[in-house]
Amino acid sequence: MEHYRDIGFKLTPQRIAILDFLEGHKGHPTAEDVYKAVVKRFPTMSFATVYNTLQALKERGRVAELSIDPGKRRFDPGREPHHHLVCTGCRRIVDIHRSYKLPVSEKERAGFDITGNHVEFHGRCPSCKKKLLSAV
C-alpha cells in the first residue's frame, strides 16, 4: 500500500479505509456503497471525500469506472476481468467471467493505447421474458 505515496497519492486514514473496502470487494460498488461502508469507521466521512478519492484512484489507474448503470457511477477495484449481462427489462446484472481478445485495427484505434475492454451483453432475463409475452 505504501507505493501509493510514490504516485502522488497521500495516504490519509480515510483513504486507507476506502482502499481497504475496495480491496475486499467483489462487485461493482457505487460511491454510496463506499460511503456507507466507510462511514462506520469515520462518522465524519463525507461524500465529497469518497468522490475525490475515487477520482484520484481512477486517474492513477487503480480503479476502473464502469458505466453499466445509467445515472449512477460504479467502480471496479479491478481484479480478474469480467463482463456483464444486463436485462433490458429490469436491469438485473449477471457477471460473465471470461475474457475476450477483441481485435481493433490500427486505423480504428485512432492513436489510442487500448488498455482493456468491457462487454455489456443485452438480453431478457427469464422473468422479463414472461412479462413481455403476457403484455402482448
Partner DNA sequence: TAACTACATGATAATGATTACAGACTAAAT
Partner DNA sequence: ATTTAGTCTGTAATCATTATCATGTAGTTA
Closest CA to 53 of 35, 71, 70: 35
Give the range of 46-54, 91-99, 105-113, 114-122 binding DNA by CB under 7 A.
46-54
**95, containing H or E segment:** strand 93-96
- Establish if 136 lies at the interface with DNA (CB under 7 A): no
Per-residue contact flags (x/-) with its own copies for residues 59 to 98, judged by CB under 8 A: x-x--xx-xxxxx-x-----------x-xxx----x-xxx
* Cα gap 82→42, rounded to integer Å: 32
Q: Treating both helix axes as pointing N-terminal to C-terminal, what angle do 31-38 and 47-59 enclose, rounded to 10 degrees? A: 120
Nearer to its own copies, 46 or 55 (CB): 55
- Establish if 120 lies at the interface with its own copies (CB under 8 A): yes
